[in-house]
Amino acid sequence: MAVDRRNSYHAPSALLPALLFFLVLGTFLPSLRNGFVNLDDQSYVTDNPHVRQGLTRQSLKWIWGDTDSSNWHPLTWVSHMLDSQVFGVNPAGHHATSVLLHAVNAALLFLLLRKMTGALWHSFAVAALFGLHPLRVESVSWISERKDVLSAFFWILTMWAYVRYARDVKSRISNFKLSYLLSLVFFVLGLLSKPMLVTLPFALLLLDYWPLRRWPQTPVKRLLLEKMPFLLLAAASCVVTFQMQQRDNSVTPADTLRLSARLANAVVSYARYLGMTAWPVDLCVMYPHPGYWPAETVAGAALLLAAVTGWVLWRKGSMPYLAVGWFWFLGTLVPAIGVVQVGRQALADRYTYIPSIGLWMAVVWAAARLMEHWRHREAIARAVLAGAIVTCVALTVHQIGYWQDTKTLFEHAINVTRRNWIATSSLADEFQHEGRVNDAVEMYQQTLKINPYHGDVWLKLGNIMLAQRRFDEAQADFQKAVELDPADIYAHRGLGSVFQDTGRFDEAIEQFNQVLRFKPDDSDSYSNLGNCYGMKGRPDDAIHCFEQAVKLKPKSAQNHRELGIGLANKARWDEAIDQFQQTLQLDPSDAPARQLLNSALRDKARTAH
């Protein structure tokens, strides 16, 4: 369908991509005033030594075996490294890259839709609503979500090459193989940017139905065979990604959240995404998973989805774009809809980046069909589109402001959601980072009132109490963390530190040995064990533990100093002197080690006489 070809003679079509690019660019420019946020930006940029050093042989080798994130996205790492090489840790530069990519995506989407459909203003409307909608803010203004805008760039290019291939095959142009190969290359680059592109082969099948209309003229078997290389690449990406997420403990175990709860949340999330698209207010960085939705909520969401699905299937003959847009939305959300639960959120704004394109395609083309016989339809359409654009720009600029810093981001999340224990916990982390310990304690306690099963918060509270030497409270906090996760080595280590500092050395030894059962190469626990054995008058056991600590962490000045003390207690002067000298080589400013070295030299000289 190309209804708006009739009114396109007024359109400066060559200028529309540039207009769209600069409109999106200008809308998101306020992002450049924002800083890094204490939500993955440390592991992606500021505290990541591989990224901070820029593009080097070592960093390029690291990206292929990265275990620092839950996803496998080597090309995304390259983009962050390039930014670090050019901009250092100036957040404005990193934001500028994401904003620029997003503006390019909006312009490319317009060109792609125009190429596929020939409908100028329909294509412009879809690309504008996609590019300017406030749901895009999380993907663009959060530096760690570079993978969204980068992968979408290759998604659009993959479709562009595939459309060219389809046209070349239909016209019997000989270079169709080159176009097909190019689409595969872009697809691989997209998967290397973010594995969510695994749904792209199914989106290509939708394009075969509309607007390319290859089906039913082309046999389904051939269309499926064309997609096999894409499907094999997608399957490989799924395997690698799942292994990475399992290794990073990002996948919620099935016994923690039942399949029925995950399916119910998926149904409700689809409905919530529709609502957020139509009424984008109270958007925030984190929507906590409720665990179990009320049955009536799930039933209502399921009824809505079933009704829309039935309607688009009923109208698929006369309005094929409805089915394509709707199933694009449903299908491309599958990897992030929560059937396999990754993380603690129920849904997220960023997951709509690609799926929203399908929704807007269905809405815009359906609206044009609805107004087809209206009087003054062109004026009404222009007024509606202009109003939608102005509204989106205003809401988007306002939403960008919430990303200016970590405190603003999570305070807003707390204000617009209920019982958001993820936001309160994250805000507490930020208070602690700023040195506002009392505020952090209060916020951690508020988190535990909402979710008393948050082991990390009990652990963080325990560490604060331990630092303040409030041992009874620290012990209670660490014990609660151990109850929630008996394999939490940090909770066992914290509990051991409480016992060590209060002179309960047998109990401390038991806790540090627990740590070593779970993590045999934990140097700190060997060091702590050595100190406990020393205090119990077991110098040989102490020396053994200190030797293990030095073996595991040979560049630790503290480990060498402690081993030296243990050896000196056994009058093994030459070995002790050697350890103190190694300590000073590693840390020349270590005054206690220098005093111990001088003392050992005097004692050795005294015993020699």
> Is 2 within a domain?
no
Residue 273 sits at the vertex; the CA angle it makes with 272 and 274, to the nearest 5 degrees, is: 90
Least confident of 81-85, 213-217, 314-318: 213-217
> Domain tally for the chain?
3
Assess whether pLDDT exceeds 70 at residue 261. yes
The answer to whether 94 touches 52, Cβ cutoff 8 Å, is no
Same domain? For 375 and 461 the reply is no
Task: Answer whether residue 6 is part of any domain.
Answer: no
Co-location of 58 and 198 in the same domain = yes
Burial of 605 from C-beta contacts in 10 A (0-12 / 13-18 / 19+): exposed
Q: Kindly state whether residues 75 and 211 are assigned to the same domain.
A: yes
Percent of the chain surpassing pLDDT 70? 95
Mark whether 239 and 385 lie in a shared domain: yes
Note the pTM of the prediction, 2 decimals: 0.90
CA dist 354 and 333 (Å) reads 8
Inter-helix orientation angle 437-450/455-467, to 10°: 150
Residues 161-175 have pLDDT tens digits of 999 999 988 777 777
pLDDT in tens, 176-185: 889 999 999 9
Shared domain check, 210 and 96: yes
Which of 13-17, 28-32, 85-89, 329-333 shows the lowest per-residue confidence on average (mean pLDDT)?
Answer: 13-17
Question: What's the angle, vertex CA 298, arms to CA 312 and CA 135, rounded to 5?
Answer: 65
Q: How much is the average pLDDT of 566-573?
A: 93
**Highest-scoring range by mean pLDDT, 180-194, 213-227, 341-355:** 180-194
Are residues 52 and 111 both part of a single domain? yes
**Whether residues 59 and 206 fall in one domain:** yes
Tell me the mean pLDDT in the region 274-294.
95
pLDDT of residue 1: 37
Please give the pLDDT value at position 4: 45
Among candidate residues 388, 407, 426, the one where a domain is terminated: 407
Q: Which domain holds residue 436?
A: 418-520
Residues 502 and 525 sit within 8 Å (Cβ to Cβ): no
Q: What's the pLDDT band for 67 if we cut at 50, 70, 90?
A: low
| HEC profile of 353-401 | CCHHHHHHHHHHHHHHHHCCCCCCHHHHHHHHHHHHHHHHHHHHHHHHH
* Cα 511 to Cα 521: distance, rounded to the nearest angstrom: 15
- Distance from C-alpha of 355 to C-alpha of 347, rounded to nearest angstrom: 13
Residue 7 pLDDT: 43
State yes or no: pLDDT of 55 exceeds 50: yes
How many beta carbons lie within 10 A of that of residue 212, not counting itself? 19
For residues 105 and 155, what is the distance between their CA atoms, to the nearest angstrom? 9
Please tell me which residue, 588 or 340, carries the higher pLDDT value: 588
Domain end call among 379, 407, 435: 407
Q: What is the mean pLDDT of residues 583-599?
A: 94
Position 302 pLDDT exceeds 60: yes
3-state helix, strand, coil in the chain (%, to 5): 75, 0, 25
Residue after which a domain boundary falls, among 407, 438, 469: 407
Residue 291 has pLDDT above 70, yes or no: yes
Q: Residue 538: CB partners within 8 Å, gap ≥ 6?
A: none
> Residue 585: inside a domain, yes or no?
yes
Residue 245 lies in a domain: yes
Which pair of tokens denotes residue 194? 């973010």
pLDDT digits (tens, 9 = 90+) for 396-450: 999 999 999 999 999 999 999 999 999 999 999 999 999 999 999 999 999 999 9
At 177, list the tokens: 């193989």
Alpha-carbon distance 390 to 208, whole Å?
A: 34
Q: Report the pLDDT value the prediction gives residue 244, as an integer from 0 to 100.
A: 75
- Considering the domain boundaries, does residue 3 fall inside one? no
Residue with tokens 């390319």: 212
Q: List the CATH number of the domain containing 554.
A: 1.25.40.10
Q: Do residues 516 and 526 share a domain?
A: no
User: Are residue 72 and residue 150 in the same domain, yes or no?
Assistant: yes
Res 609 pLDDT > 70: no
Are residues 390 and 452 both part of a single domain?
A: no
Query: Does 92 share its domain with 20?
Result: yes
For the segment 449-492, what is each residue's pLDDT rounded down to a tens digit?
999 999 999 999 999 999 999 999 999 999 999 999 999 999 99
**pLDDT score for 8:** 42
Examine the domain organization and report whether 473 and 542 are in the same domain. Answer: no
Reported as a pLDDT band with limits 50, 70 and 90, residue 5 is very low
pLDDT of residue 341: 73
pLDDT of residue 250 exceeding 80, the answer is: no
pLDDT tens sequence across 497-506 = 999 999 999 9
Q: How far apart are CA 603 and CA 164, in angstroms?
A: 85
Q: Are 242 and 342 in contact (CB under 8 A)?
A: no
Residue 61 lies in a domain: yes
**109 part of a folded domain:** yes
Do the domain assignments include residue 7? no
* Distance (Å) of CA 101 to CA 108, 127, 196, 244: 10, 14, 18, 26
| Residue 125 burial (CB count, 10 A) | 27
Contact 607, 573 (CB under 8 A): yes
Nearest to 141 by CA among 432, 332, 418, 353: 353
Could you read off the pLDDT of 509-549 as tens digits, one per residue?
999 999 999 999 999 999 999 999 999 999 999 999 999 99
Average pLDDT of the chain is 93
